[in-house]
Amino acid sequence: MDTVSITTANKYEHSTLRRAVIELLEPLGGMPAFVSRGERILLKPNMLSAKEPDRCVTTHPLLVQVVAELVKEAGGTVQVGDSPGIGGFMKVAERSGISEAARRSGATLVEFNEAVELNGKGTFRSIRLARAYYEADKIINLPKLKTHEMMTMTCAVKNLFGAVIGTEKAAWHLNAGSSRQLFARLLLEIYELKKPVLNIVDAVMAMEGNGPGNGDPIKVGLLIAGTNPVAVDVIAGKLAGIPAELLHIEREAVYMGLTGALIDDISICGLPLSAIPQKNFRLPTGLDVQFGLPAFLTKALKNNLTSYPKADTATCVLCGICRDACPPGAITIKNSALSIDNARCIRCWCCRELCPHDAMLVSRGALLKFLAAFSTTKTD
């Protein structure tokens, strides 16, 4: 049975957060249970893009600093690394405050810019991960709890996708991103190639709505920790009030028979779930209604069953970031106008995730518009 620890943490203040992390880890054996003297420990925060900490796009730098300090006190050397979705690594590190957190704690920043090719253990025969990630003695995963327009929620398992280097993420979105089930399997197989020894979720302030890059902050006031990221995600989803059928990674983990995928097989320590008021996160507008339908039908009705991206001409500055990041090349800019080929679009929402101006809107298919109108009529 997997154990998940939960504790309260109501603000980002160093001494408060330090006490909370120590309390969080105590039922799991404390930091010395995960770190031996002389080991090289890589902290893997969420460093999606160059946003200030209060935007809740990235893991808060104070959590990174506190965990790094505790690792050093346990005798380990600390690296902090990731591969941002947009922007240079150092720019993201500076803007998010993680660069300063590393300096204060004595950790070393490590950019994921060199890959090692690994033999896959399941569906995918070959997966390339950052060498700094794979060759670290141990990984401590520091995700931010956020909604996600493609996967509904991003937390511990999804955060490990950052071990894929830069532009190779787009290739994986193209190869596996047209199916949420297949993409969830990819994420789980990445996790199994290099399992973190510890996962600590930053849920002091989380993100709801159109995450992971353009949602809204929501106060949760919690830290969540465990050795199994699947189990951690199951509990995080429960605390966020997200319906289990929308948690694609957890659904696929059940299908694969992975441990930690069923809540009845998870032991909670620290705060009991019954003592925590459940939040009901506002979900992304880009979610669709195609679950359980035959593949031929979803393909035929793709534009009616799903939402699709549409540029907001009032805020789009034609910077080309969405075009360059689009896995299937569905976005073009011509004659000072941005256009999207909806037939080619795979609904991975990378364009919305990476747009620094929040200029990519969600346009709903005809069936979704009808269902929304019908629902409104019934409740009026």
* Cα→Cα distances 336→313, 316, 333, Å: 10, 11, 7
Among residues 241, 275, 309, which one ends one of the domains?
A: 275
Among residues 240, 275, 310, which one ends one of the domains?
A: 275
Examine residue 281 and state whether it is found in any structural domain, yes or no: no
201 with 268, same domain: the answer is: yes
238 with 341, same domain: the answer is: no
Token pair in block for residue 307: 């939402």
184 with 130, same domain: the answer is: yes
Examine residue 285 and state whether it is found in any structural domain, yes or no: no
Q: What is the phi-psi region of residue 320: left when phi exceeds 0, alpha when psi lies from -120 to 50, beta otherwise?
A: left
CATH number at residue 336: 3.30.70.20
19 with 96, same domain: the answer is: yes
266 with 301, same domain: the answer is: no
Examine residue 282 and state whether it is found in any structural domain, yes or no: no
Q: Distance between CA 76 and CA 97 in Å, rounded?
A: 22
347 with 263, same domain: the answer is: no
Containing structural domain, residue 54: 2-275
Examine residue 290 and state whether it is found in any structural domain, yes or no: no
Question: What residues pair up with 79 in beta bridges, in sequence order?
Answer: 42, 108
251 with 352, same domain: the answer is: no
> What confidence score (pLDDT) does residue 177 get?
72
pLDDT in tens, the chain (380 residues): 999 999 999 999 999 999 999 999 999 999 999 999 999 999 999 999 999 999 999 999 999 999 999 999 999 999 999 999 888 999 999 999 999 999 999 999 999 999 999 999 899 999 999 999 999 999 999 999 999 999 999 999 999 999 999 889 988 988 887 789 999 999 999 999 999 999 999 999 999 999 999 999 999 999 999 999 999 999 999 999 999 999 999 999 999 999 999 999 999 999 999 999 989 999 998 775 444 444 554 555 555 556 788 899 999 999 999 999 898 899 999 998 999 998 888 888 889 888 988 898 887 655 444 444 544 444 44
CATH number at residue 200: 3.40.50.11440
Examine residue 41 and state whether it is found in any structural domain, yes or no: yes
Residue type, 41: I
- HEC profile of the chain: CEEEEEEECCCCCHHHHHHHHHHHHHHHCCHHHCCCCCCEEEEEECCCCCCCHHHCCCCCHHHHHHHHHHHHHCCCEEEEEECCCCCCHHHHHHHHCHHHHHHHHCCEEEECCCEEEEECCCCCCEEEEEHHHHCCCEEEEECEEEEECCCEEECHHHHHHHHCCCCHHHHHHHHHCCCHHHHHHHHHHHHHHCCCCEEEEEEEEEEECCCCCCCEEEEEEEEEEECCHHHHHHHHHHHCCCCHHHCHHHHHHHHHCCCCCCHHHEEEEECCHHHCCCCCCCCCCCCCCCCCCCHHHHHHCHHHHCEEEEECCCCCCCCCHHHHHCCCCCEEEECCEEEECCCCCCCCCHHHHHCCCCCEEEEECHHHHHHHHHHHHHHC
Token pair in block for residue 154: 């991003």
Examine residue 26 and state whether it is found in any structural domain, yes or no: yes
- Cβ atoms < 10 Å from Cβ of 14: 12
> What confidence score (pLDDT) does residue 377 get?
44
Q: Distance between CA 283 and CA 297 in Å, rounded?
A: 25
Residue type, 117: E
342 with 248, same domain: the answer is: no
Q: How many domains does the chain have?
A: 2
Token pair in block for residue 129: 């991960």
103 with 214, same domain: the answer is: yes
CB 47 within 8 A of CB 92: yes
179 with 321, same domain: the answer is: no
Token pair in block for residue 11: 């603000």
Among residues 275, 309, 328, which one ends one of the domains?
A: 275
Examine residue 33 and state whether it is found in any structural domain, yes or no: yes
CB 309 within 8 A of CB 318: no
309 with 164, same domain: the answer is: no
300 with 217, same domain: the answer is: no
